[in-house]
Amino acid sequence: MLSQPLFRNVLCQEDFKSSAGGAHCFPDLRVGVFKEIVPMGIDPKIVSYKETGIHLSPQEFHREVEQYLSQVTQGQSDTILLDCRNFYESKIGHFQGCLAPDIRKFSYFPSYIDENLELFKDKRVLMYCTGGIRCERGSAYLRSKAVCREVYQLKGGIHKYLEEFPDGFYRGKLFVFDDRYAICSNEDIISACRYCGVLWDQYKLCSSQHCRQLVLTCPSCFNKGLTACCPVCQEKALKVTSRASGQTLKEECECTRRRPRVPIEHVSPRMLDTGKD
């Protein structure tokens, strides 16, 4: 790609990320043209990636987080460390002391900012996501509200940070959107089995064909048949397997319906957890 004239002045070597995997994780190649790589639901002409926050290298971001955690411990921080990903991503891995919105889709992020705007007033915001793509739009949207003192974002995202700081301030696994589900850089497990509470961070798809949400179920619970994300889905899965197979339609499950679409935060940065989960 670097040798092609189309990309020569756009891409550089540091734009590429590498991690352990294999052909079984990527069975095919698809090239698509989209208005938004990760849909935020707002026209790019209205909120442009050209109006992003200040990009910080992994080294610069590491220093900022180190300073932030030190200040929070002393109750003096004017900074928010903001995770731009979905709840199921931050659930298995995140930066210490971060504010991780309990949202299911990135398209909910603008509403989350709007509903919690007072939280960001006059603050320095350090934003991060998996590879930096969501921060391009997310930081631009936050800046468009003109309430933050400064907005920064991690260049290359968590992925690039872990390449340089595998045992830094990011703890747990990094969620990825392929058949691996997660990649590991440290031994910390910060999430638990949905059923028994034992430490566990390996996702499986909900066993209900109607749902297919991600669920954390440890081997012991899985072997007991606890394979769904909620009781309703568990019951549906049993009914489906007990009758002749047929076409099923995807629908919202109980745990999705009861989750607030846009949570209202009732915390201040001083209250955020700065220790290891």
Catalytic residue numbers, as ranges: 129
Token code pair at residue 226: 């606890």
Residue 204: closest CA among 228, 171, 172, 238:
228
Pairing of strands 174-175, 54-56: unpaired
Q: Phi and psi at residue 239, in whole multiples of 5°?
A: -65, -40
**CA dist., res. 64 & res. 129, Å (int):** 16
Q: Is the CB of residue 66 less than 8 Å from the CB of residue 77?
A: no
| Residue 184: exposure state from Cβ atoms within 10 A (0-12, 13-18, ≥19) | middle
Given a contact cutoff of 8 angstroms between Cβ atoms, the answer to whether 52 and 143 are in contact is: yes
Show the tokens assigned to 235: 């019951």
The alpha helices in the chain, defined as continuous H runs, are 5-8, 58-73, 87-90, 109-115, 117-120, 133-144, 157-164, 219-223, 231-242, 254-257
How far is residue 160's CA from residue 113's CA, in Å, rounded to a whole number?
26
